[in-house]
Every structure is written in structure tokens, then in C-alpha cells.
């Protein structure tokens, strides 16, 4: 205890030494072609077909040990991370091109550091694309959804140029990071990916399914694709399939695979047989979803149905209003209203949504006649315009 300061200092030195060793190892493996590209399939939530893969970096040491991104990414500087992304893309395009010759037309996603969106990245990206037969519109660059780099005008301009090349852009990890709606509005984003940690926690926080539904609606409204990653279990998969999520990724579908294993997965992909929901949590999600649809439909529709019923009922509120205003059955205004009701009923019976419904012309004509008579009666009620107002 008397030498606490020295003891803390020695621990700091030890930590620095470990950091230096880890950094040196990562640098060495990158320089000595230790990079391997592994692939995690992204499936279609409707038929289970593999629509694309996310390319993930691995480093293999000379002893055969494979280092995951969590083990080496924190030890690389920005320039090294950018170089890693370009190496990854180059290697992945070779694999995707090889699969294309075998009949597998897959999309390719890969991560890039957020700070990469400078004008310096454009020549490098163009060079990689020029050397590959893979169409740029099958490539998606995933950007970590954190920090404020994208608020800089140059980043948005560079992103627009990248999209001009045909490449898609995805905002990654939506749900737990910066999460700015303004960012989705202002940036040329084609896809949003829900954060995997958020999705993994759904079994413990089922109320968060509301958030997934909101993102589904948001993606549809702004015209971007929603990809949900972190599908770790069969139960979570059942929930998301019940909700109708279109693109899915996670351990519950497939772990990241070396290229040779990806080939085997493509030959025998995951089957989405069976009726949904298949689990109690899926049932929970389905009821939540259908209730939300019913609520959104019936709340405004309730008023619409009331108005429609009021228009059609012979003893409805408008009939009562005519009587209160002194217009009895047999009078021209009452007859005009009855004709409108009759034409409307006939048109609805013939198919209200049909553009060729011949009865709608009669409805419009009856409505114009009714409106003309109402306005004429109103004019007579105005003092100095002729007849005395109706009682």
C-alpha cells in the first residue's frame, strides 16, 4: 500500500505493452496476407432465399488461430481500418464474382469506417470497381450510425458520388446509437440495419417490438430497405417472420462462414417451412401487429362508417334534419335526397372501388341536383331574396 503509485504505474506499463503487442500482431497479419473474408447470409423473409451476404474480416495467425474483429479492430488506426475495408472489398468481389459464374447472384455488404467518406476514398473505390466484373448495384457500403461525421457537407457530397457509381449505402446499427431522423432525411441512404444488440434483447424486452414495427413503417414510407440483424434464435426468427420483416441476418440463420462453407450453405439454405406464428412469442408479435393495423384502420374508419351509414339510413340524422327544417316527404328537396340515397346504395352494391362502375355517374348527377336544390332553398331563406325562411 505504501507504494500504490508505483504499483499503478507498473500496471499502466503492462497495459501499454499488451496494447502494443496486439497492435503489432494485427498490423503484421494484415501486411502478410493474413486477412480472410467470412460471409454471413442475408435471407428473404418471405421465401428464405439468400439475397446477399455481409463480408466480415478475420485475421488468421500462423498457428491457425482466427482473430475476430473484436480482437483486432480496436488496435488499428483510421488509415489501417480504411485499408482493411478496401482489402476486404477487393477479396469479397472475387468470391462474389466466382459465385456468379456458378449461378449465384448475390448482393454484397461490407462495413466502412465512418470517417472514410472523404474525397480521397473515391479514386480507390473506382479502381476496385473497374477491376471487378461484379455490378456496383450489388454492393452495399454499411456505415456505423454514430458520431457527427455525416453532418459535414463533404460527407454527404461524397456519399452522393458513391451512389452515382451505382453502389448502395446503408446506415448500420440503427436503434442504439446516434439515431437522427434528420440524417435519414438528408443523406442518400438506401437501407437501414437494425442494431443486432437491440434485436437480441427482444425476448427480455418484448415491448420493444413496437420499435421494430415503427422502423418497418418508416422504411416503407421513405422508400428504403430494412434489414434486421441479430436474429440469434429460432424464436426471434419466428417473431420477425410473423411481423413480415423482409430481410434477416443472424446466428439463428447462419453464423459467418468461410467461403467454402458459404458454398455449402447456398446449396442447402435455411427452409422457412411451417405456419407462422410457430412460437408463443411469435403469437404475441402477431397479435401486436394485427391490433396495430386494426387500430390504425378503424379509428379513422369509424368516423367514415358513421358518415356512410348516416347517408344511407332512411331514418338517419339527415332525414331527421330535413324534418326539423320543415321539408316533409313528397317535397322536391326531400325527393332529391331520397334519389341521392338510392343512387349511392346502388353504386356501392355494384363495387365502390371499381373505376368502371357505371352507377357512379348517376350518383354524381343526383348529388349535383341535391346540392343545387339545397343552395336554392338557402338563397330563399336569406332576407330579401324572396320566400320566407322555412320554420
| Cα–Cα distance, 32 to 62 (Å, whole number) | 10
* Complete DSSP assignment for 46-104: TT--EEEEEEEEEEE-TTSPEEPHHHHGGGS-HHHHHHHHHHHHHHHHHHHHHHHHTT-
C-beta separation of 259 from 253 below 8 A: no
Phi then psi for residue 201, to 5 deg, are -85, 0
Options 54, 80, 145, 229, the catalytic residue: 229
C-beta separation of 385 from 376 below 8 A: no
114 CB-contact burial (10 Å; exposed 0-12 / middle 13-18 / buried 19+): middle
User: Cβ neighbours of residue 58 under 8 Å, at least 6 residues apart?
Assistant: 35, 36, 37, 38, 66, 67, 68, 69, 256
319: region left, alpha or beta (phi > 0 left; psi from -120 to 50 alpha): alpha
Angle at the Cα of 214 from the Cα atoms of 277 and 279, rounded to 5 degrees: 15
| Cα–Cα distance, 60 to 68 (Å, whole number) | 9
C-beta separation of 82 from 113 below 8 A: yes
| Cα–Cα distance, 154 to 113 (Å, whole number) | 15
Given 3-state DSSP classes, what are the helix, strand and coil percentages for the chain, each rounded to the nearest 5?
Answer: 55, 15, 30
Catalytic (active site) residue 229 = yes
Query: Residue 186: which of 165, 167, 169 has the closest Cα?
Result: 169
Question: Which three-class secondary structure state does DSSP give residue 36?
Answer: strand
Annotated catalytic residues are 229
Amino acid at each position: 500500500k505504501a507504494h500504490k503509485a508505483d504499483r499503478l504505474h507498473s500496471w499502466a506499463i503492462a497495459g501499454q505493452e499488451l496494447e502494443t503487442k496486439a497492435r503489432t500482431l494485427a498490423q503484421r497479419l494484415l501486411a502478410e496476407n493474413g486477412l480472410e473474408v467470412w460471409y454471413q447470409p442475408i435471407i428473404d423473409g418471405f421465401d428464405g432465399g439468400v439475397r446477399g451476404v455481409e463480408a466480415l474480416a478475420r485475421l488468421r495467425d500462423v498457428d491457425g488461430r482466427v482473430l475476430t474483429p473484436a480482437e483486432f479492430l480496436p488496435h488499428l488506426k483510421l488509415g489501417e481500418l480504411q485499408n482493411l475495408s478496401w482489402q476486404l472489398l477487393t477479396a469479397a468481389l472475387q468470391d462474389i464474382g466466382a459465385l456468379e459464374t456458378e449461378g449465384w447472384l448475390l448482393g454484397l455488404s461490407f462495413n466502412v469506417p465512418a470517417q472514410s467518406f472523404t474525397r480521397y476514398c473515391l479514386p480507390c473505390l473506382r479502381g476496385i470497381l473497374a477491376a471487378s466484373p461484379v455490378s456496383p448495384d450489388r454492393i452495399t457500403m454499411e456505415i456505423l450510425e454514430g458520431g457527427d461525421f455525416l453532418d459535414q457537407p463533404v460527407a454527404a457530397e461524397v456519399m452522393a458520388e458513391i451512389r452515382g457509381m451505382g453502389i448502395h449505402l446503408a446506415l448500420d446499427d440503427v436503434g442504439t446509437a446516434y439515431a437522427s431522423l434528420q440524417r435519414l432525411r438528408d443523406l442518400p441512404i438506401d437501407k437501414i440495419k437494425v442494431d443486432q444488440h437491440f434485436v437480441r434483447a427482444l425476448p427480455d424486452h418484448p415491448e420493444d417490438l413496437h420499435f421494430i414495427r415503427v422502423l418497418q413503417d418508416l422504411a416503407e414510407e421513405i422508400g428504403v430497405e430494412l434489414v434486421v440483424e441479430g436474429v440469434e434464435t429460432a424464436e426471434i426468427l419466428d417473431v420477425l417472420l410473423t411481423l413480415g420483416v423482409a430481410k434477416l441476418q443472424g446466428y439463428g440463420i447462419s453464423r459467418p462462414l468461410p467461403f467454402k462453407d458459404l458454398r455449402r450453405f447456398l446449396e442447402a439454405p435455411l427452409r422457412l417451412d411451417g405456419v407462422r406464428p410457430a412460437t408463443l412469442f411469435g403469437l404475441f408479435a402477431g397479435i401486436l401487429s394485427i391490433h396495430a393495423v386494426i387500430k390504425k384502420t378503424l379509428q379513422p374508419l369509424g368516423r367514415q362508417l358513421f358518415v356512410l351509414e348516416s347517408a344511407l339510413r332512411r331514418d338517419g340524422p339527415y332525414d331527421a334534419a330535413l324534418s326539423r327544417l320543415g321539408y316533409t316527404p313528397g317535397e322536391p328537396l326531400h325527393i332529391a335526397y331520397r334519389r341521392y340515397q338510392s343512387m349511392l346504395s346502388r353504386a356501392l352494391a355494384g363495387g365502390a372501388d371499381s373505376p368502371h362502375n357505371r352507377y357512379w355517374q348517376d350518383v354524381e348527377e343526383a348529388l349535383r341536383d341535391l346540392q343545387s336544390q339545397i343552395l336554392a332553398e338557402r338563397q330563399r331563406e336569406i332576407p330579401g331574396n324572396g320566400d320566407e325562411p322555412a320554420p
